[in-house]
């Protein structure tokens, strides 16, 4: 299971087993046309990669789909390029630009708060799940961290791979972080970038443990949900889709009325100085402050299942989309919540008293519609906000986009 907070990742690609492979090839060059051997050519979000040979040539076999290609070589700026494989092999030369920043030694200014920011980034990017406890950032020095005190916003990016070793799932994740943002005001987490997955080496016994944990991580995740939704099998594979409808809170006056009364009563309080003020009367300052703190809306769960054929629309032969109002309330019935999640204040989603402790997440639409592929990849990382269980799970609970459950696993049971 994985989270994307608000998260939301730029994992794009379409895997279709029935389709044949085509070759993406070309030459990695500098701006003068000179070949660059030893350049890493990665498919973002997958375990697919190669290295340019002595002539700078590279070749990758890919199935039809939409991919983000990342090219990296020490001394050069990382290059990313979006390509579409449809019905034939294609050739694309990749031109890298020298990086003055990487050629010169980068000096990180001492920051007494850096350790706190690193811990915050780790919690919101890698996660706080049991799997996250077995993750380690190998080179945190590559993180370029900025904190805006006025906006209360943490921003992080990298110009080279951040390397994370995940001993829980057996992956070495190389992640070029384009942008990470966390606002302590809105509590919204957003990140996007280019991850690449490698298998860690381990004994046969350890590989069996990793395989089991990878399957657990995948099942119930957004990747699993959108894959099953694409195939019209979300219900069969354990997902129940409801609507969480928000209605205006009738007990809360308008914002303009609240502001006007607080301003008026604040002036009265300042004018009275040391005189006694009635704090219990309906027209008191405390009364209007309580009104200000009321929620704007009241959420009501509609337990009638949302039909997949009305929610999902076909965009073309490789892409489908969803568009909806209110919030989607996603229940995964094949796994229960981890006790660690249930005990975290502010993360758990309210549920009816008769509902077991299934994993529950919500999706709030930010950009309509949401386009997605057969492998569960989402086209626009800012399209949705996840909350609940999906908001808890982050990179530590992610698997590559080309991950496939073992053939002998029956997801419908």
pLDDT in tens, 79-122: 989 888 878 899 999 999 998 755 444 455 567 899 999 999 99
What tens digit of pLDDT does each residue of 343-357 get? Answer: 776 677 889 999 999
- Within a domain: 160: no
How far apart CA 358 and CA 128 sit, in angstroms, is: 19
Domain span including residue 274: 253-293
- Within a domain: 193: no
pLDDT band, very low/low/confident/very high, at 236 (cuts 50, 70, 90): very high
pLDDT at 174: 95
Among 47, 73, 103, the domain-final residue is 103
Q: Is the pLDDT of residue 364 over 70?
A: yes
Among 103, 131, 162, the domain-final residue is 103
- Within a domain: 189: no
- Within a domain: 264: yes
pLDDT at 284: 81
List Cβ<8 Å contacts ≥24 apart for 98-101. Answer: 98/30, 98/31, 99/75, 99/159, 101/159
List Cβ<8 Å contacts ≥24 apart for 197-200. Answer: 197/45, 197/46, 197/47, 197/171, 197/172, 197/173, 197/399, 197/400, 198/47, 198/171, 198/172, 198/173, 198/174, 199/47, 199/170, 199/171, 199/172, 200/165, 200/166, 200/167, 200/170, 200/171, 200/172
Q: Is the pLDDT of residue 2 over 50?
A: no
Q: Is the pLDDT of residue 394 over 90?
A: yes
What tens digit of pLDDT does each residue of 296-329 get? Answer: 778 899 999 999 999 999 988 788 999 999 999 9
How far apart CA 197 and CA 46 sit, in angstroms, is: 6
- Within a domain: 7: no
Q: Is the pLDDT of residue 280 over 60?
A: no
CATH of the domain at 78: 2.60.40.1120
pLDDT-above-70 percentage for the chain: 87
Q: Which two tokens stand for residue 74?
A: 């020490």
Could you tell me if residue 64 is left (phi over 0), alpha (psi between -120 and 50 degrees) or otherwise beta? beta
How far apart CA 379 and CA 373 sit, in angstroms, is: 8
pLDDT at 411: 56
- Within a domain: 52: yes
How far apart CA 304 and CA 321 sit, in angstroms, is: 21
pLDDT at 186: 87
pLDDT at 378: 87
What tens digit of pLDDT does each residue of 397-409 get? Answer: 999 999 999 877 6
pLDDT at 197: 96
Number of domains in the chain: 2
What tens digit of pLDDT does each residue of 248-264 get? Answer: 777 788 888 888 888 88
Q: Is the pLDDT of residue 12 over 70?
A: no
| CA-angle at 265, arms to 262 and 269, nearest 5° | 130
- Within a domain: 274: yes
Among 265, 293, 321, the domain-final residue is 293
What tens digit of pLDDT does each residue of 130-162 get? Answer: 999 999 999 999 999 999 999 999 999 998 899
Q: Is the pLDDT of residue 279 over 60?
A: no
- Within a domain: 53: yes
């Amino acid at each position: 299971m994985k989270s994307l907070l608000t998260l939301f990742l730029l994992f794009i690609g379409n895997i279709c087993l029935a389709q044949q492979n085509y070759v993406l090839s070309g030459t990695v060059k500098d701006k003068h046309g000179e070949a660059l051997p030893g350049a890493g050519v990665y498919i973002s979000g997958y375990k697919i990669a190669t290295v340019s040979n002595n002539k700078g040539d590279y070749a990758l076999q890919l199935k039809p789909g939409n991919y983000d290609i990342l090219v990296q070589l020490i001394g050069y700026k990382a290059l990313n390029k979006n390509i579409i494989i449809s019905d034939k092999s294609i050739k694309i030369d990749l031109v890298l630009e020298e990086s003055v920043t990487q050629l010169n030694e980068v000096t990180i200014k001492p920051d007494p708060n850096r350790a706190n920011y690193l811990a915050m980034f780790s919690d919101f990017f890698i996660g706080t799940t049991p799997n996250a406890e077995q993750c380690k950032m190998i080179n945190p020095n590559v993180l370029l961290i900025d904190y805006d005190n006025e906006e209360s916003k943490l921003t992080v990016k990298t110009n080279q791979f951040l390397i994370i070793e995940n001993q829980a799932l057996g992956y070495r994740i190389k992640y070029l972080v384009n942008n990470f943002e966390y606002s302590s005001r809105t509590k919204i987490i957003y990140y996007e970038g280019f991850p690449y997955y490698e298998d860690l080496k381990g004994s046969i016994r350890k590989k069996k443990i990793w395989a089991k944990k990878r399957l657990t991580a995948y099942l119930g995740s957004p990747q699993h949900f959108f894959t099953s939704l694409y195939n019209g099998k979300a219900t069969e594979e354990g997902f129940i889709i409801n609507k969480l409808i928000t209605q205006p809170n009738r007990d809360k006056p308008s914002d303009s009325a609240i502001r006007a009364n607080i301003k008026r009563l604040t002036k009265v309080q300042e004018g009275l100085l040391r005189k006694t003020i009635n704090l219990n009367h309906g027209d008191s300052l405390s009364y209007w402050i309580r009104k200000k703190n009321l929620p704007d809306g009241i959420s009501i769960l509609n337990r009638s299942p949302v039909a997949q054929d009305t929610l999902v629309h076909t965009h073309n032969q490789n892409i489908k989309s969803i568009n909806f109002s209110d919030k989607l309330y996603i229940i995964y019935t094949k796994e229960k919540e981890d006790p660690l999640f249930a005990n975290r204040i502010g993360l758990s989603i309210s549920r009816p008293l008769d509902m077991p402790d299934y994993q529950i997440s919500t999706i709030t639409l930010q950009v309509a519609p949401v386009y997605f592929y057969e492998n569960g990849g989402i086209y626009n990382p800012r399209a949705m906000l996840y909350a609940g269980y999906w908001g808890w799970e982050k990179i530590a609970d992610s698997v590559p986009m080309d991950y496939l459950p073992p053939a002998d696993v029956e997801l419908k049971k």
